[in-house]
Structure 1
Amino acid sequence: GGPGGSGGGGRGGGARAGEQIDLSDCLAEFFEEEKLGAGNLWRCAKCNDFRAASKRISIYKLPPILIIHLKRYAAHRHKPSAKRDDAVAFPLDSADLSPFVSASQPVPPKYSLYAVCRHMGTLHHGHYAAAVRRNGEWVDLNDDRVRSIAAPSLCTAEARKSAYLLFYARDAPVQSGTGHDSSAASVASGHGARAASNASTALPESGVEMRNVLRQTLSSPQHWPFDMTVIPQQYRAAADGGGRAP
């Protein structure tokens, strides 16, 4: 879902551009029931006729890793497209998705944030940076600059305006009698997303494991994907391929 549900053909409504919204409001609008009426009728498979109907999206099975893409690039038919700078407030811990699931889940539908991708700039140019949680601490990654940051820095107005991709890991159920979380599932790598592969080094909080990350860039094809090997002790990365994302 996007800020206010706008952009890319999403349903209208929501907050006006520039206002602060809550991520739960974005999700509620994305999953709300949609009326299919005149000009958008539903074709009944039984009677083969077009009829008014209601459509609703819900989550049947929650994934171990949940990636939320905020639609900040609004497309317009009769005016120039633009980037939205709404400040979207998002939870760092225990994000509850129970209102959006269609059936009971084997584990609680709660998630904790473990990474944020930010975009600073306009529709036509800008800069990407990221923040990642490791061992309970947040680390800011901005080109070759790596520094520790406090969790509240992710809740500032500027951080909420630039948040573009939110990476959540499902909270592991508490083991009976221990008070400690059990291990969560690992990330499934995807060819199209070029997301993650060769799991071995545990990311904290989520129990997710990853060693090599294939970064997709906007540079020339011969420069990607290139391998970025994470060295936990030094928080440094060695890139093979010479390309750099803009």
Structure 2
Amino acid sequence: EEFLSGLPDVDEDEVLPSLGVLYSLNEKVSLYGSIAKNLERGTGTGVITANPNQQLPPVESEQVEVGAKIALSEELIMTLALFDISRDYEYINEDNFYVSDGVQNHRGVELIFTGAVNDRLTLYGGGYLIDAQVEDLSNQPDAVPANIPELQFSLRANYALSEVLHVNGGVFHSSEKEVDVPNQRTIDAYTTVDVGASYDIAFRHFNLTLVGGVQNLLDEEYWQSPISVGSPRTVTFQLLANY
């Protein structure tokens, strides 16, 4: 196994408790809480680092969450949650060593909603506001973890103009993100807009649907992550058939 993977074996035991509670206040509101610990395999260091082909120790994490599920209507559900997540942090340090050092903490609030507002309009989306920190690092002060925006949200809507014609649109926003742990560079905030439509056609024994859309309608130039450029304006068409 060591020959095949190029990495040494790691053997470690851990007790992983998990507990969840759900309480219904009434037909529309339910409260819940959960706590869980997790253990996952550590990352193997890559060949581009100063310590290639090494197996980092297992990664421990713990998550605590409390929240409420609210039925705004028969088909529109909203979930509001507070969360606190801690996880061992892996990163490439300033000496180009891939290491497990410090603890990554995420504390924040999350809102999710999905469902039909009425017979014509359907909404789905959500977002989070987060305070993310890497703490207890060996050789540097606390920092903001890479590629974690403080604020991120999306909203999409689908509207039925008729039984056969639907239009849809959405907006996605991400605040600025750090590129690296020393927090020397950042990725700018960005917002993208998508639009689309679908039209149903009955043709002989086939039910056809013509689907068209434009992603990144405003042709926003942005970095999706420190190593990934966002897609430019993209126009798509599809013809779907059922019989």
TM-score computed with the length of structure 1 as normaliser: 0.26
More strand per residue: 1 or 2?
A: 2
Larger Rg: 2
Q: Which has the higher helix share?
A: 1
- Give the TM-score taking structure 2 as reference length: 0.26
More relative contact order, 1 or 2 (CA 8 Å, 6+ apart): 1
